[in-house]
Amino acid sequence: MKKAKFILSISLLMLIASCQNRKNRAFTLNSKVNSYLHISHTRTNSDPLMDSLVEKLNYDKFDMLWLGGDLAVLTSSSENTMAHIDSIFDLGSEKTLWTLGNHDYSNLERIKRFTKRPRYYSTHQDGITLIVLDTQDSLSNIVGAQREFLNNALDTIQKSTHLIILHHKLIWMHDNPDLAPKASSIANGGLGSCSYCINPNNFYSEIYPKLIKIKEKGIEVLCIGGDIGFKAKEFEYVTPEGIHFLASGIKGNGENNKGLLFRHNPANNSLTWEFKLITDL
């Protein structure tokens, strides 16, 4: 009888240890920290080439790649340029998100063929909702079918911990008393009415109020632009309502170029970021 009790006790201990090990393994698997890289304005003045360091990076080590636009001088104007960029960024991958800039806009059908996606869309990554906008359409304004898409995407966010909106133009600089005076020293295209400028737009009148409501639900909101690099390598601003405006971009083959690196731990819903030199990525 004592021997039977001893064997039963040992069996129970082994079962408990096995269950604990499975829990530990599950926690280890679920607590993987993801890394996401945002880079923008990678163009040089000679297609199809981009910044030489950008072309040499190993993007397989990042869980997602977020491209902020202006990849080449005339990115989609030729099959050769698109094929070269695709060979580096894998444009059709679900891991690669690309928001279009004015230098990308020559042939939208060619872009759609390579990316297998429309110009604006939404996706999800471990609790994060990502929305890709086309700020080149309608001169910085989000109108028509794109506005309908965005409103629907914003109105139906349920269980996300973060909302990230990727866009090229820094549309939140216009009509902002703190940011508008800085536009000429931050953005590649300053305030104005040209095709590459930050045009008068409907961000604060129609989009920002919805972002505030999402923030009030406990969802962190980040808007990430890509049209910098010539005058500034990084930009960060937090609004009074706690919404983050970020931007990163480079000057092709220039010095001290930076990318924006995110670390995301789905296990505890944490998302952190830092601007890092391209040479350190």
**What residue spans define the domains of the chain?**
1-30, 32-280
Diameter of the chain measured on Cα atoms: 91
pLDDT value at position 31? 67
Q: Quick one: which of 35, 30, 24 has its CA closest to 62? A: 35
Helices marked H in the chain:
2-30, 52-56, 79-89, 108-115, 144-155, 183-186, 208-216
Transcribe 225-258 into DSSP letters. E---SSS-SEEEEE-TTS-EEEEE---TT-SS-E
pLDDT value at position 158? 84
pLDDT value at position 19? 45
Per-residue model confidence as pLDDT tens digits over 66-91: 999 999 999 999 999 999 999 999 99
Q: Quick one: which of 279, 269, 157, 166 has its CA closest to 224? A: 166
**Least confident stretch, 10-19, 125-134, 225-234:** 10-19
What CATH class is the domain 32-280? alpha beta
Per-residue model confidence as pLDDT tens digits over 216-275: 999 999 999 999 999 999 999 999 999 999 999 999 999 999 999 999 999 999 999 999
The rounded distance, in Å, linking the Cα atoms of 201 and 99 is 18
pLDDT value at position 8? 41
228 close to 41: Cβ distance less than 8 angstroms: yes
> How far from each other are the two terminal CA atoms of the chain, in whole angstroms?
64
- pLDDT score of 150 more than 80: yes
The rounded distance, in Å, linking the Cα atoms of 52 and 50 is 6
- pLDDT score of 16 more than 60: no
- pLDDT score of 25 more than 80: no
The pLDDT mean for the chain works out to 91
Structural tokens at position 211? 């972002």
Q: Give pTM, 2 decimals.
A: 0.89
pLDDT value at position 207? 98
237 close to 178: Cβ distance less than 8 angstroms: yes
The rounded distance, in Å, linking the Cα atoms of 27 and 199 is 48
Tokens 């973060």 -> residue: 162
- Residues of 89-99 as b/e, b for ≥16 C-beta within 10 angstroms? bebeeeebbbb
The rounded distance, in Å, linking the Cα atoms of 281 and 274 is 11
Which residues touch 75 (CB under 8 Å, ≥6 apart)? 43, 47, 81, 82, 85, 103, 104, 106, 111
Per-residue model confidence as pLDDT tens digits over 153-209: 999 998 899 999 999 999 999 999 999 999 999 999 999 999 999 999 999 999 999
How far is C-alpha 84 from the geometric centre of its chain's CA atoms? 22
